[in-house]
Amino acid sequence: MEVSLDVSSPPDGVCERAPPSSLRAHVVWTDLCVNVQGKGGKPSRSILVGATGYVEPGSILAIMGPSGSGKSTLLDALAGRLAPNTVQTGDILLNGQSKTSLSYGVAAYVTQEDVLIGTLTVFESIMYSASLRLPGNITKTEKRAIVDRTIREMGLWDSQNSYVGNFFLRGLSGGEKRRLSIALQILTRPPLLLLDEPTSGLDSAAAYFVVSTLKNLAKEGCTVVSSIHQPSSEVFALFDNLTLLSNGHTIYFGETANASEFFAASNHPCPPLRNPSDHYLQIINADFDQVKHALKNLRVDDVESTDPLLLKTRKNTEEVVKTLSAAYQKSDYSIATRSKITHILSQFNGKAGLIGGSGSHANFIQQCVTLTQRSFVNMTRDPGYYWLRVAMYTMVGLCLGTIFWKVGFKYSSILVIENTFLHYLRILQLKLNGADH
C-alpha cells in the first residue's frame, strides 16, 4: 500500500515559519542529589551531589563532564526519566512550580539513540508526526507549512524524499538521522527541549550545524539543555551557559565565556591555542590517571615539562576535583548562580506558571487512521517484515501440502493421513511443554 504525500513547495501566501510558542520555560534546580540503591544490602551510591543551576528561555545550556560524571543523570532528572531504583532529593522547579505537577507535553526529549522507522522518507516521518501531534483545528495547508519549515530548518530539504534507511534500504547518513530525530521533537515548538549528546558520532561540520540550529531555536524563546561530549571550539562557543560535572560534583556553573577565568584562578589556566572544552575535561577526567602510569614507563622527565597533560597527571584527579569543587562553592560564580535563581523564582511568586498541553492534540480517530496508514506503509516496504514472511508461509504451506499429495482415498491412505496428523500434534505438544519449562 503506497501513500501519496505531496512533497512540492508550499503554496504561495502560506507562512513557512509558524510563530513560536508564547509559553516560556524557566528551569531551576537546587541542591539536587541522586542516589542509586544498592542490591543485596549493599550501600547506595551517589551519582549526583548537590547540583544547583538554572536555564532560561533564549539560552542554551551545555552539560559537560567525563564518562560517569553524572551529566546524563542530571539531564534525566530534569526530564523526569530517572530509573526506578534511584532516589532523588532537592528541588526542580519549572516556572516556580514543582515539575511533577505539570501536564505532559511541556518538554521534548531527544535520546542519544535515533529511534526512527527506516522505511519512511524524511517528509513522511515528519508529516506522520505532525498528524499525530499538531492540533486538529490546523488545516492541511498550515500543517504542510509547519512541516516544510521544520525540514528546511534542519537542513533536510534536499533529502526529504530519501528513505531513513535500515538493513535492507540504503538511507540517510548518521548526521541526517540525528537532525531528523531533532526535527521530530521541535515540530510542536516545545517550551523546553532536552537533548542527550546530540552531536555524538557526527563530524565537526555536522555537529556545528546541529548546535547552530539549537542556538536559533533558543533565540526564538525555547529553553534548550543539552549534554555534550568533547565539542570543538567552534561548537563550544555556541553555548551560553556551562555546567561542568565530575564524579557527581559541580566543578563549574555559569557563563561559558567565564569558565576560563575560573580555571585560571584555580591554577589551571587554559594554554594558548588549545580547545577550552578539551582542557577542562583533561583536568577533571580520572581516565588520565591511567595515562600517568603509562607515561612513567616512557620517562616523563625527558618530555617537555610544560605540557599541561603531563603536569596534570602528577596530581591525582580525585584531589583536583575536590579542590575545584570546593573552590567553586566559595567563588562568586556560585553566589551569582543562587542569586539568579532567587531572582527567577521571585518572578513567579504566587503566580501560575507554565501549565502545558495534554500531549497529542490529534483526536482518537485521527491517531488510529494515521498509525494504521503508517503501519501498512512500513509493512509493504520492509522485505524483512512483510515479503519474507509471505515467502516463508508459502513455503511452509507447500511443504505441508505435498506430504498429503496423491496419498489416495483408500482406507490405508486415510490411516496414513491420520497417523501423520497425530504425529504433528505430538510434536506440537512436546514443543509447548518445553516452552512451559
Indicate the domain borders of the chain.
Answer: 27-285+316-346, 404-437
How far apart are alpha carbons 192 and 49 in whole angstroms? 24
pLDDT (average), residues 53-79:
91
**Cα 238 to Cα 314: distance, rounded to the nearest angstrom:** 33
Q: ∠ at Cα 352 (48, 104), nearest 5°?
A: 60
Q: With 80 as the cut, is the pLDDT of residue 346 above it?
A: yes
Is the pLDDT reported for residue 426 higher than 70? Answer: yes
H or E segment and range at residue 316 = none
**Do residues 276 and 236 make contact, with C-beta atoms less than 8 angstroms apart?**
yes
Q: Is the pLDDT of residue 15 over 50?
A: no
pLDDT, residue 8, reads 46
What percentage of residues in the chain have a pLDDT greater than 90? 36
- Greater pLDDT, 310 or 69: 69
What confidence score (pLDDT) does residue 308 get? 52
Q: Which CATH class is domain 27-285+316-346?
A: alpha beta
Residue of 33, 26, 116 whose CA lies nearest to 70: 33
User: Across 37-160, where does the E strand assignment appear?
Assistant: 45-55, 60-64, 86-94, 97-98, 107-110
Mean pLDDT of 131-146: 88
209-233 mean pLDDT? 91
pLDDT at 406: 74
Range from 43-52, 303-312, 368-377 that averages highest in pLDDT: 368-377
Instruction: Check pLDDT > 90 for residue 315.
Output: no
Given this model, what pLDDT does residue 125 score?
95
**What is the average pLDDT across 296-309?**
51
Asked whether the predicted pLDDT for residue 106 surpasses 90, the reply is no
Residue range 91-116: mean pLDDT, rounded? 80
